[in-house]
C-alpha cells in the first residue's frame, strides 16, 4: 500500500501541501487520530459545562456580531446555531470546483481536530465521512470579506451537514438530505456553539491559496526548464549562470534557479556550436532568469510558510481551552496573513509569466532571433505562432491587473463591528487565476522553443532538454503547416501544470531544485 492509498491522518497540526493535494485532487481518504479525537471531546465537555452553568459566553448563548449583547435562553440554543448557518449561507456566484470544495472541507475538519472549536466528535465524523464518500456541498465562490473568517462559504458547508442546501454526489447535484441518504449518511442536529465552530475561520482562502501555491511551485521549476530550452534555441550563453556570479549575491531562489539552468544546459551540442561566436551578453529575459525566477521562488517560500502555519491553526472565536476550562474571544479568524501571502503569490507568479512572454517574443520575432518569423517555414502563406504570442501577451497583461493587491482594501461590515477586513478570498482567487494564466504562457513558450529547435537540426540541445522536447512532441508534433493551436496549447499546459516537463528533464539530469 502506498502512502496515498492509506488514509491521511488528521491531527490538526501536520497537514501540508502534499496532503492537501492528495485529498483534494486525488481523493485520498482521511482519518482522525486518537489524540485529535480526545482533544475534540475534551473541548466539547467545556462547552457543555458552560451551557449547564448558565454563564454567558459569546457564540455559545449570545447572538453574533452586532447581536453579541443579546443573551439567548437555554431552550433556544439549538435554534440559535441552526439560524446562524442558515442566515450566513448567502454566497453568490459560481460554485467552487471539486478540488477547492474538498480543500474547504479538509481544512475545516483539520481546524476542528485541533480541539479549540468545541464541536461534538460526531459532527466532525460526519464532515470526514462526507469527504471520504465524495459528498461535496455546493459552495458559491463569492461572498467572503475574510473578516470573521470565510463565513458565507463555510456556512454553505455547514448547512449541508444538517441536510439543507445542495450537494454534488456521484456526478449529480442533489438536495443535501438526499445526497447524504444516497451516501448512507444522516444529517446532524447542531448543538450549542457547533454552528459557529463550523463557520469561523480562514479555510476557503487557505484552501484556494494552498492549491494555487502547490501548482505555482511546479510552474517555477518548469520555468527554469522551459527557459533553458528557449535560451539554447536562441543560441544564448550559459556564462551568466556561472556559480561564482550567484555566490556573490546568495539569494536562495536565485542560487537554485542558476544551478538548475547550468545542469539543464550542460554538454549541449547546440551551445558548443557557437561558443566562439563573439556574442558577449544576452537580453535580460535570458540572462537574468535566475534573478527573476529566483525572486519568485523566494516569495513562494514565504507564502508556503504562511499557508503551512494557517492550515494547522486554530481560527475560531471564541476558542475553547480545555486545560483551563475557558472560552476566550479573540481574532484568529482575521485573514490578513493569508491575504497578504496570496497577494504576494499573485505578484511572484505574474513575474514568471511576464519574463516568459518576453522570451516568447524573442523566439517569434526574426529581428531578435535570426529564426524564421513566427517560427513557420512558409511565412506569409502561413502565420505560424503569431497569435500564440498575442495570447501570451494578453495573459501577461491580464496578470498585471490581477496582481494588484486585494489585501490593501477594506470595507466595514456587520454594523461596523467588523471595521477592518482582509479580502483574503479575493486575493486567493486572483492568485489562482494568475497561476492558471501562467500555466498557459509557459505552455506557449514550450511549444515555441521546441519549434525553434527544429530550425537548428540536426544539431541537438542537451540530453535533459531533448527529453523535454520528446515529451512535448508526444502531444504536439512539429509545425510544418498551420493548424488549430488551442487544443495543442491546452495539452502542453496540462504537462506544465502537472510538472511533467520537469519530470522529463529530471529523469536525465537528476532532481531539479
Task: Provide the 10 A C-beta neighbour count for residue 79.
Answer: 12
Measured distance CA(97)–CA(112) in Å, rounded: 23
Sign of the four-CA dihedral 364, 367, 370, 371? positive
Which residues are CB-contacts of 266 (< 8 A; sequence separation ≥ 6)?
462, 509
Whole-number Å distance between alpha carbons of 250 and 245: 9
Task: Note whether 229 and 449 are within 8 A (CB).
Answer: yes
Q: How far apart are CA 481 and CA 468, in angstroms?
A: 22
Q: What's the CA gap between 358 and 14, in Å, rounded?
A: 40
Q: DSSP strand E in 303-396: where?
A: 319-321, 326-328
Q: Is 317 helix (H, G, I), strand (E, B) or coil?
A: coil
For residue 167, count CB atoms less than 10 angstroms from its CB and return exposed for 0-12, middle for 13-18, buried for 19 or more.
buried
Residues 6+ apart with CB under 8 A from 143: 90, 91, 92, 93, 152, 153
Provide Rg for the chain, Cα atoms: 26
Contact, 134 vs 213, CB < 8 A?
no
Neighbours of 461 (CB within 10 A): 26
φ/ψ of residue 142, rounded to 5: -110, 150
* Structural contact between residues 303 and 341, judged by C-beta atoms closer than 8 angstroms: yes
In degrees and rounded to multiples of 5, residue 505 shows phi and psi of -70, -45
- Sole residue written with cell 556570479: 245
Which residue shows C-alpha cell 449547564? 52
Residue 380: partners with Cβ closer than 8 Å, 6 or more residues away = none
- DSSP category for residue 7: P
Q: Which of 220, 227, 235, 229 is nearest to 465 (CA)?
A: 229
Active site residue 284: no
Dihedrals phi, psi of 145, to nearest 5 degrees: -100, 0
| Collapsed DSSP state (helix, strand, coil) of residue 155 | helix
CA 464 to mean position of chain CA atoms:
28
Residues 6+ apart with CB under 8 A from 443: 489, 490, 492, 493, 495, 496
- Point out the catalytic residue in the list 58, 64, 241, 479: 58
Q: Which residues are catalytic?
A: 58
Amino acid at each position: 500500500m502506498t502512502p496515498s492509498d492509506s488514509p491521511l491522518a488528521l491531527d490538526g497540526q501536520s497537514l501540508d501541501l502534499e496532503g492537501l493535494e492528495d485529498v483534494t485532487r486525488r481523493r485520498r481518504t482521511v482519518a482522525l487520530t486518537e489524540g485529535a479525537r480526545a482533544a475534540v471531546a475534551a473541548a466539547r465537555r467545556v462547552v457543555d459545562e458552560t451551557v449547564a452553568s448558565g454563564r454567558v459566553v459569546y457564540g455559545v448563548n449570545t447572538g453574533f456580531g452586532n447581536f453579541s449583547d443579546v443573551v439567548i435562553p437555554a431552550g433556544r440554543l439549538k435554534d440559535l446555531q441552526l439560524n446562524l448557518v442558515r442566515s450566513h449561507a448567502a454566497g453568490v456566484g459560481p460554485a467552487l470546483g471539486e478540488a477547492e470544495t474538498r480543500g474547504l472541507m479538509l481544512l475545516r475538519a483539520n481546524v476542528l481536530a485541533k480541539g479549540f472549536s468545541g464541536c461534538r466528535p460526531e459532527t466532525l465524523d460526519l464532515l470526514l465521512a462526507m469527504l471520504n464518500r465524495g459528498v461535496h456541498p455546493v459552495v458559491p465562490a463569492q461572498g467572503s470579506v475574510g473578516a470573521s473568517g470565510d463565513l458565507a462559504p463555510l456556512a454553505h458547508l455547514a448547512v449541508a451537514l444538517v441536510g439543507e442546501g445542495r450537494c454534488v454526489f456521484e456526478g449529480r447535484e442533489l438536495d443535501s438530505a438526499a445526497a447524504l441518504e444516497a451516501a448512507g449518511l444522516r444529517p446532524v442536529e447542531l448543538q450549542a456553539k457547533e454552528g459557529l465552530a463550523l463557520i469561523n475561520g480562514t479555510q476557503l482562502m487557505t484552501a484556494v491559496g494552498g492549491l494555487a501555491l502547490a501548482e505555482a511551485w511546479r510552474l517555477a521549476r518548469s520555468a527554469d526548464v522551459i527557459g533553458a530550452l528557449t535560451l539554447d534555441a536562441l543560441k544564448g550563453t550559459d556564462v551568466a549562470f556561472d556559480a561564482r556570479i550567484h555566490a556573490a549575491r546568495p539569494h536562495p531562489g536565485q542560487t537554485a534557479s542558476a544551478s538548475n539552468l547550468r545542469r539543464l544546459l550542460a554538454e549541449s551540442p547546440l551551445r558548443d556550436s557557437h561558443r566562439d561566436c563573439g556574442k558577449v551578453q544576452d537580453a535580460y529575459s535570458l540572462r537574468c532568469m535566475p534573478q527573476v525566477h529566483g525572486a519568485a521562488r523566494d516569495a513562494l517560500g514565504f507564502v508556503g510558510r504562511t499557508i503551512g502555519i494557517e492550515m494547522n491553526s486554530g481560527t475560531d472565536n471564541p476558542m475553547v481551552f480545555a486545560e483551563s476550562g475557558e472560552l476566550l474571544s479573540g481574532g484568529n479568524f482575521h485573514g490578513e496573513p493569508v491575504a497578504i501571502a496570496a497577494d504576494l503569490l499573485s505578484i511572484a507568479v505574474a513575474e514568471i509569466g511576464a519574463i516568459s512572454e518576453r522570451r516568447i517574443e524573442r523566439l517569434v520575432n526574426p529581428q531578435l532571433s535570426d529564426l524564421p518569423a513566427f517560427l513557420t517555414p512558409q511565412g506569409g502563406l502561413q502565420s505560424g505562432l503569431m497569435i500564440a504570442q498575442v495570447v501570451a501577451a494578453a495573459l501577461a497583461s491580464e496578470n498585471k491587473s490581477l496582481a494588484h493587491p486585494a489585501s490593501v482594501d477594506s470595507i466595514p461590515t456587520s454594523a461596523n463591528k467588523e471595521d477592518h477586513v482582509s479580502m483574503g478570498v479575493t486575493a486567493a482567487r486572483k492568485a489562482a487565476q494568475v497561476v492558471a494564466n501562467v500555466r498557459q504562457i509557459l505552455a506557449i513558450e514550450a511549444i515555441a522553443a521546441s519549434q525553434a529547435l527544429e530550425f537548428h537540426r540536426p544539431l541537438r540541445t542537451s540530453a535533459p532538454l531533448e527529453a523535454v522536447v520528446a515529451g512535448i512532441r508526444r502531444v504536439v508534433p512539429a509545425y510544418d503547416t498551420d493548424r488549430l493551436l488551442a487544443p495543442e496549447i491546452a495539452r502542453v499546459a496540462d504537462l506544465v501544470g502537472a510538472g511533467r516537463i520537469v519530470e522529463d528533464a529530471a529523469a536525465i539530469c537528476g532532481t531539479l531544485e
